[in-house]
Each structure stands twice: as structure tokens, then as C-alpha cells.
């Protein structure tokens, strides 16, 4: 059969949802049944829940970056870049490649899985001075930055500078922020032994959240256990507090406290990828409003899932939408692939239905709290559940081997606290890591697609 006559399936985003979809399509569709194309800026699928362990040096960056080209069975064409707009009427996706070239890609079916970006607010200085924890580059950058603060504090003769460099602020008491604060506090606690000139008492971690509780999804008792573990380790937790202002050398909390610090890590939630706004379609708090079968109402052949879509949570009912978790994204990816195949075959689509399996929170070492299938666990059993869950969820055997080896090596040999020096002279901003300024407006998308069409004619 001629390639041109084959249906073109375009998957946007190579994360949990996108890769699960592509792998299923590759397995279930013969190469002659459809052309599959994936648009993604990176050549790997990032196992994001383990990012705090990359930042703290327990895992190497490579071990959580799962190659998209590991097997010769992976026949999908990959466009290295990011979608910056989609014109639903003409069925064309506008892409900026990693060399900054803008190209257009027509499709018959599109699966939108570009995930989310760090949610920010209009707080003075925030986007200039905060670091996020959403990308591999951010995790590696933060690790270097934190070790650099120890090095700089050690070299400084100025007590005020030393104190400021040894204070760290994490905003966001969800699992991402809590794990990040916990894992990085362990890093500084262990590292300071290698700096005999530094007073360990000067190292101070602050974890703050505007909500009245840490990780409310854990429930009252487990949430309190997590808080006790962190407090015991010297992390100062402030609830009902956010930041009013951020600067290069200090952060002002909304309760008036001014914290001298060079490190502000912002993990206060996520919002859908800005790509969704380019569609000019209905959204639910920024996520694309889709049906339970993950189709966009009124647009044939458009599917959306994962963090970027508001997929109805049928297991919860009452108008609930699935929370933005890897657990849902992965399963939605498989289900969407089945629904794309059903569409091709003219069969009815199936709604997405999954009952949440619970939450695991790795606080480093043997500290953890977990609630698998509603069972509350603390300490070592919780840690076994957390690491066991993540290890099993890693998609490839080579990733499993890398992660397990890293865990073993780290538990035996510890960390050398080496700073790589990449980008050390460049202060990287949130937007630089997450490419938030690349997207077009719906009008720009249409203009671009029309212009590209004229050039072809
Ligand atoms: C620190 C941290 C810890 C977490 N811990 C857990 C946990 O313990 N359990 C859990 O279930 N969930 C956890 N999550 C949430 C989970 O990682 C996300 O819900 C999940 O990754 C969402 O999957 P996704 O496929 O929608 O998006 P992602 O996995 O983020 O994938 C999106 C993909 O799209 C690509 N992309 C982005 N923009 C574009 C574009 N414009 N064009 C093309 N490609 C694009 C990205 O590079 C990426 O490859 C955690 C998240 C973080 C940040």
C-alpha cells in the first residue's frame, strides 16, 4: 500500500501517556495499517517521580531517562521538537524543532499528551529566581546549585553570606515538594561532613505551603507522620504560608519573614502544557475537556490525556477528573491507543476507568510513607513499597537494572557530592527549562498553517 493512503497518527509528547500510547500502537497495528509519528523534544521518556533522587544524587540522570530508541521494534518516526500549536480545523500541528526551525505536520488522528508545566503565580521575582523540579535538566541543575552553595559558604569569610547560602526554601507541600525537600536535606546533611569549616547547625531547610496540611491525599495520620519525619530531620515546615516576593539573595514569606537564601525551589503544583491553549477549545482549569473515552467533543480523531487533559474519573464519579499522576497517564496512554485502533476499525470506543492504587512517598533512606491500595505504611515497609512500586513501573529492564544498581551503590558507597559545573555561570530560569515562551496564539497557529499551505500550493 502507498504511504500516502495510510492514516497518519500523530502523538504529541513522549512522557508516560504518549509513550504508553505509541508502544501499544506499535504492538497492535501492523506497519501497513497506519503511520505513527511522535513529536517530543527529548529522546527519552522521563520517569519523573524519581527526579528528587536525581537531584539528591541517589540516582544518575541517565537511569531515569528511558530511551525511545532502545529496540528495533520501535518503528515510530520521531520528530525532535515541541508542538507549539495545533490547528484542529485543518488537522495540522505546528512544531518547533530542536534547531528552532518551525515545521508543520498534517495528521488524520492526533493524540495530545504534552503533560504539564510548573504552575506559577504573579509573585514578584518568582519566575526569575525560582527553580522547578519538572525536567531532568532542572534536577541536575538543582543538585549542582545546592552543592555549589556548600562550596561557596565554605570559601566565604562573611558570616551573613555563609548563613544565606546554607538556607534553602522549598515551596509546595505535595509529594513533589515534600520528596524534594526531604531528599535534598539528606544530601546537605551528609555532604556537610566533608566541609569541616562549616557549622552543620547553619544548614536550614524550609518547606512551606499555603494549604493547612502536607500531602492531604495521604490522609490525616500519614500526613502527620510525614510531617513528624521531616521535622525530626530539622526541616522547618510552615503551613498556611506562601511567598510574597523572591529575590536573588532573599525570599519574603507571606507571614512577613524574610529568609536570606540563594535557593528557592518552586513545586507548588502544575498546569496543563501551554499547547492546550493554542487549540481554542474548552478547558477545565487549563486542562483540555475531553469525554471519558478521551476524545475531544466535536472534533473527530482528536484525543487528549495525561496531565494536559481533564479526563473524567469514572471510579470517583460526581464530576471528578483524574488527578495529574503518572499512574493515570500511563493507563490512559494504553486505553487511548486502543480507542485510536477502534476508531480506525469503526468499532465503539471504551471509556477510561481506573481506581487509584494509592500513593508512595520516598523521603530518603529508610524514611517513607505510603498508602498502597489504602493500606497505611510508614518507615521501612513504606520505603519497600515506594521503591518496589517505582522499580516495577519502570518500562524497560535496562532502566530497572540501572536504578537498582544505583540504589545499591548509593546505599553502600554513599555520594561524592561532585558538582559537574554545567551551566554554573548561567542563572537558569523556570521558563528556560520548560520552554514556556515558545507557544503560538490560536490566531498565529491559523496564520502559520495558511502560510505553509500557500507555500505548498
Ligand atoms: C517530582 C515529581 C514527582 C512525582 N511523583 C509522582 C508519583 O510518585 N506518582 C505519580 O503517579 N505521579 C507522580 N508525579 C506526576 C507524574 O510524573 C505526572 O503526572 C506524569 O508524568 C504525567 O504524564 P504525562 O504523560 O501526561 O506527562 P509527562 O510525563 O510530563 O510527559 C510529557 C511529555 O511531553 C513532552 N512535551 C512537553 N511539551 C511538549 C510539546 N509542546 N510538544 C511535544 N512534546 C512536549 C515532554 O518533554 C514530555 O516528554 C510526579 C511529578 C513530579 C514532577
Q: pLDDT digit string (tens) for 335-376?
A: 999 999 999 999 999 999 998 888 899 999 899 999 998 899
Task: With a cut of 60, say whether residue 3 has pLDDT above it.
Answer: no
Query: Taking 80 as the threshold, does the pLDDT of residue 456 lie above it?
Result: no
CA end-to-end span of the chain, whole Å?
A: 25
Domain locations in the chain?
3-50+66-118+271-356+437-456, 126-269+358-433
| CATH number assigned to the domain with residue range 3-50+66-118+271-356+437-456, chosen from the 4 options 3.20.20.70, 3.50.50.60, 3.30.230.70, 1.20.190.20 | 3.50.50.60
Query: What confidence tens digit (pLDDT) does each residue in 267-312 have?
Result: 999 999 999 999 999 999 999 999 999 999 999 999 999 999 999 9
> Is residue 9 left, alpha or beta, with left meaning phi > 0 and alpha meaning psi from -120 to 50?
beta
Checking if the pLDDT of 432 tops 90, the result is: no
CATH of domain 126-269+358-433: 3.50.50.100
Ligand 1 atom at minimal distance to the Cα of residue 324? 19
Tens digit of each residue's pLDDT (9 = 90 or more) over 82-104: 999 999 999 999 999 999 999 99
Question: With contact defined as beta carbons under 8 Å apart, do 200 and 272 qualify?
Answer: no
Q: From atom 37 of ligand 1, which residue's Cα is the shortest distance away?
A: 114
Q: How far away, in angstroms, is 192 Cα from ligand 1 center?
A: 33
Residue 430 scores a pLDDT above 70: yes
Contact by Cβ (8 Å): 56, 205: no
The span from the CA of 237 to the CA of 215, in Å, is 13
With the most atoms of ligand 1 within 8 angstroms of its CB, the residue from 10, 13, 371, 437 to mutate is 13
Q: Does 57 have pLDDT greater than 60?
A: yes
Q: With H, G, I as helix, E, B as strand and everything else as coil, classify residue 105.
A: strand
DSSP state of 312: B
CA distance 222 to 230: 12
Distance 157 CA to ligand 1 centre (A): 42
CA distance 425 to 428: 9
The cell for 167 is 538556607
Q: What angle do CA 104, 136, 226 make, to 5 degrees?
A: 130
Mean pLDDT of the chain: 94
| Burial (0-12, 13-18, 19+ Cβ within 10 Å), 392 | exposed
Relative to beta strand 130-131, strand 263-266 is: parallel
**How much is the pLDDT for 155?**
97
- Residue 43 Cα, ligand 1 centroid: separation in angstroms? 15
Residues 117, 35 contacting (CB under 8 angstroms): no
Cell numbers at 60, concatenated: 544518575
Q: Residue 186's closest CA among 53, 406, 60, 364?
A: 364
- Find the residues whose C-beta lies inside 6 A of ligand 1: 12-18, 39-42, 48-49, 51-52, 82-83, 113-115, 133-134, 175-176, 273, 275, 306-308, 324-327, 329
Report the percentage of the chain scoring pLDDT > 70. Answer: 98
- Report CA 26 to chain centroid distance, whole Å: 25
Classified as helix, coil or strand, 86 is strand
Instruction: Report which ligand 1 atom has the smallest distance to the Cα of 39.
Output: 43
Asked whether the domain spanning 126-269+358-433 has the same topology as the one spanning 3-50+66-118+271-356+437-456, the reply is yes
Contact 34, 21 (CB under 8 A): no
Amino acid 1: pLDDT:
46
Amino acid at each position: 500500500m502507498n504511504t500516502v493512503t495510510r492514516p497518519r497518527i500523530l502523538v504529541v509528547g513522549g512522557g508516560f501517556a504518549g509513550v504508553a500510547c505509541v508502544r501499544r500502537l506499535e504492538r497492535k497495528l501492523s506497519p501497513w495499517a497506519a503511520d505513527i509519528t511522535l513529536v517530543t523534544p527529548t529522546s527519552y521518556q522521563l520517569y519523573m517521580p524519581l527526579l528528587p533522587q536525581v537531584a539528591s544524587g541517589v540516582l544518575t540522570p541517565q537511569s531515569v531517562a528511558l530511551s525511545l530508541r532502545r529496540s528495533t521494534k520501535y518503528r515510530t518516526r520521531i520528530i525532535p521538537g515541541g508542538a507549539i500549536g495545533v490547528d484542529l480545523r485543518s488537522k495540522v500541528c505546528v512544531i518547533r524543532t530542536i534547531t528552532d526551525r518551525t515545521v508543520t505536520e498534517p495528521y488524520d488522528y492526533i493524540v495530545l499528551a504534552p503533560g504539564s508545566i510548573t504552575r506559577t503565580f504573579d509573585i514578584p521575582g518568582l519566575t526569575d529566581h525560582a527553580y522547578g523540579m519538572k525536567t531532568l535538566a532542572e534536577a541536575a541543575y538543582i543538585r549542582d546549585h545546592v552543592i555549589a552553595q556548600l562550596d561557596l559558604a565554605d570559601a566565604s569569610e562573611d558570616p551573613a553570606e555563609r548563613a544565606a547560602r546554607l538556607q534553602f526554601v522549598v515551596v509546595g507541600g505535595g509529594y513533589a515538594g515534600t520528596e524534594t525537600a526531604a531528599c535534598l536535606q539528606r544530601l546537605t546533611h551528609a555532604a556537610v561532613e566533608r566541609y569541616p569549616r562549616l557549622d552543620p547547625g547553619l544548614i536550614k531547610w524550609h518547606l512551606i505551603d499555603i494549604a493547612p496540611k502536607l500531602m492531604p491525599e495521604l490522609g490525616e495520620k500519614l500526613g502527620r507522620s510525614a510531617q513528624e519525619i521531616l521535622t525530626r530531620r530539622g526541616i522547618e515546615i510552615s503551613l498556611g504560608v506562601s511567598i510574597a516576593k523572591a529575590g536573588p539573595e532573599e525570599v519574603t514569606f507571606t507571614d512577613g519573614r524574610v529568609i536570606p537564601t540563594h535557593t528557592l525551589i518552586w513545586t507548588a503544583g502544575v498546569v496543563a502544557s501551554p499547547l492546550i491553549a493554542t487549540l481554542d477549545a474548552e478547558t477545565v482549569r487549563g486542562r483540555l475537556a475531553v469525554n471519558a473515552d478521551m476524545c475531544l467533543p466535536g472534533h473527530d480523531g482528536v484525543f487528549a490525556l495525561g496531565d494536559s487533559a481533564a479526563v473524567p474519573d469514572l471510579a470517583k464519579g460526581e464530576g471528578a477528573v483524574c488527578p495529574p499522576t503518572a499512574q493515570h497517564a500511563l493507563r490512559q496512554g494504553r486505553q487511548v491507543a486502543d480507542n485510536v485502533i477502534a476508531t480506525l476499525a469503526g468499532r465503539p470506543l471504551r471509556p477510561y476507568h481506573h481506581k487509584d492504587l494509592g500513593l508512595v512517598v520516598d523521603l530518603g533512606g529508610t524514611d517513607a510513607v505510603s498508602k498502597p491500595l489504602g493500606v497505611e505504611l510508614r518507615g521501612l515497609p513504606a520505603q519497600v513499597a515506594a521503591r518496589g512500586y517505582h522499580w516495577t513501573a519502570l518500562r524497560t529492564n535496562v532502566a530497572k537494572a540501572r536504578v537498582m544498581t544505583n540504589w545499591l551503590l548509593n546505599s553502600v558507597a554513599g555520594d561524592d557530592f561532585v558538582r559537574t559545573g554545567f551551566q554554573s555561570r548561567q542563572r537558569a530560569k523556570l521558563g528556560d527549562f520548560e520552554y514556556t515562551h515558545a507557544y503560538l496564539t490560536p490566531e498565529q497557529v491559523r496564520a502559520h498553517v495558511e502560510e505553509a499551505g500557500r507555500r505548498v500550493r
